[in-house]
Structure formats: C-alpha cells, structure tokens
Amino acid sequence: MSSLSRDLFIKNRLGLHARAAIKLVELAQSFEATITISNGIKTATADSVMGLLMLESAQGQRVVVSAEGHDAATALAAVSELIEAGFDEEN
C-alpha cells in the first residue's frame, strides 16, 4: 500500500471555508484512499467537513496533503488539482 504526500498552498481568497471544504470532502469520498490534510499544527481527514474547517487554513497558508491506499496517486492528484485551482472559485 503506497503513501504519498504533496506540499500545497491555499490560493483562494476565503481559504478553506465551508463551501471549499464540502467540495474537498465530496472529492475525497470518491476515492478509497485515506486522504489527510495538515497545516503543520493540526491534521484532519479530507472526508470530514468539520475537521477541515478546524484547520482554519487561510489564503497563502501551506498545507500537506497525504494519501494512503491503492488509489493514493490518483486521489492525491485530484485533491491537489482542486486546491491548486482555488476550489474553482474566483480569487
């Protein structure tokens, strides 16, 4: 079972707020891999809106996205793309 991680920056103006967290949770739930997000102080699984909101990740903050499981590479790529696209929000 592979475990992968990537450092990313939160780009959207509102940071990891409720609407962005919901998008992330819905995406994470489409994979079998366990996806976690860490801001260096707190860590949350990407399938929990409440956990993601507790990270209080603001614009410009660095997060580490990790994925573990048989589709970890695909899951990490998809989650990274969503975060790098600013959760498809206007910046």
Catalytic residue numbers read: 17
Q: Strand 3-9 relative to strand 34-38: parallel, antiparallel, unpaired? A: unpaired
In the Cβ-directed half-sphere of 76, how many Cα atoms lie within 13 Å? 19
From the list 5, 84, 11, the residue with the least C-alpha distance to 37 is 5
